Amino acid sequence: MREWVCENCNLVFLSEEPVSCPRCSSKKLRLKRKEEDEKSEAKDLKAGACINCGGSEFILDWKKREKICKKCGSIMPLVRMH
Ligand SMILES: [Zn+2]
Ligand SMILES: [Zn+2]
């Protein structure tokens, strides 16, 4: 089961593949993204020590999708670890 949000009436309901909102029959439905998912994603991106010096503190550059080690200045790509 997944959580869906109706964009018309904001009803949140559980369904696998809903066709329309159970309350207002609107077909404007979107999957609800859980906050925890976003948080753990950010954690993933920050995780991992510097490959050069093993340091764990980084300056994150989201625009360039890079992280810079505070210790040695190494630049590493900010990518999802999966
Ligand atoms: Zn609705
Ligand atoms: Zn480093």
Strands of the sheet with 58-61, listed across from one edge? 58-61, 66-69, 75-77
Q: How many domains does the chain have?
A: 2
Cα distance between residue 20 and residue 11, in whole Å: 11
> 36 C-alpha vs ligand 1 centroid, how far in Å?
24
Domain span including residue 46: 40-82
> 48 C-alpha vs ligand 2 centroid, how far in Å?
11
Write out the residues surrounding ion ligand 1, Cβ under 5 A. Answer: 6, 8-9, 11, 21, 23-24, 26
Q: What pLDDT does residue 80 have?
A: 64
Cα distance between residue 76 and residue 60, in whole Å: 10
Are 47 and 27 contained in the same domain?
Answer: no
Of the candidates 31, 35, 32, 7, the residue with the CA atom closest to the CA atom of residue 21? 7
Predicted confidence (pLDDT) per residue in 8-63, tens digit = 999 999 999 999 999 999 999 999 976 656 566 555 555 678 888 989 899 999 89
Are 50 and 80 contained in the same domain?
Answer: yes
81 token code pair:
């670890």
Cα distance between residue 13 and residue 34, in whole Å: 13
> 69 C-alpha vs ligand 2 centroid, how far in Å?
5
Are 53 and 79 contained in the same domain?
Answer: yes
pTM for this entry: 0.43
